[in-house]
Chain A
């Protein structure tokens, strides 16, 4: 099993997601979109303690991390969360996959020793 390559690090995969969420404003935008569904920038800026420009900047950062996306509706940009089920499931599986790698390595050592 020493010949095998390790699975991609789930930490490395997850880093952009965590970086994008590691900001209070962005996290609140995510929560907002999560609770209220797709919203325009105008709606998202309501009650926010930052400017509309700042909200737009943060939304773009979320989009860069694959957490949100926008679509045009008339004159407005509507933002919604990106379905992240796949990405999250993927990271979960990477973690379990790593555990299997380790277990199989021990199995190989166990059966090949004798």
Chain B
């Protein structure tokens, strides 16, 4: 796997030992998506539609995930917007900018090259990004809280 990261985007490319049609279903069938992404989505993916589901990831089960489907181009592109890293239930993220996630598929023989790009991070408030510190485990929690206070003063 190859990872490209600048401040505004995360890009990942992975070679999957499965045909493109198989990968496409795993990504765009909401139930299949949910099984590997660990979210219990209710409904189907449709361009322009919002779909929600309970997160099944251990430790995050209290969270609901919301995806605004942007584009579906069969076997090629699946794009949606969401609020990345929704962790603090006390914070209303709904007014914050969303990031755009794009899954792009390319057949390579009977294998598939999948590229994922999540972009738009530069518009996410800095204080929100400091959550990443707080979420880190170990002895850093208090320092992170201080840092978060500092960051929120700054913004």
Binding site for B on A (CB under 8 A): 1, 3-5, 7, 10-11, 14-15, 17-18, 21-22, 27, 30-31, 34-35, 85-86, 88-97, 99-101, 103-104, 106-112, 114
- Label chain A's interface by main secondary structure: helix
Kindly state the separation between the CA atoms of A15 and B139 in the bound complex, as whole angstroms: 10
Closest 3 CB pairs of A and B: A4-B1, A92-B129, A111-B18
Say whether A110 contacts B150, CB under 8 Å.
no
Docked CA distance A85–B35 (Å): 35
**How many A-B contacts at CB < 8 Å in the complex?**
126
Question: In the complex, which residue of chain A has the Cβ closest to the Cβ of B35?
Answer: A110
Q: List chain B residues, Cβ under 8 A from A15.
A: 140
B147 touches A86 (CB 8 A): no
The winner among A3, A7, A35, A111 for most chain B CB atoms within 10 A is: A111
Contact A88 B140 (CB under 8 A): no
Instruction: Evaluate contact between B154 and A34: CB separation under 8 angstroms.
Output: yes
Instruction: Name the one of A18, A27, A88, A107 contacting B129, with C-beta atoms under 8 angstroms.
Output: A88
> B116 contacts which of A21, A27, A100 (Cβ < 8 Å)?
A100
In the complex, which residues 97-155 of chain B have their Cβ closer than 8 Å to any Cβ of chain A? 112, 114, 116, 118, 121-122, 124, 126, 129-133, 135-138, 140, 143-144, 146-147, 150-151, 153-154
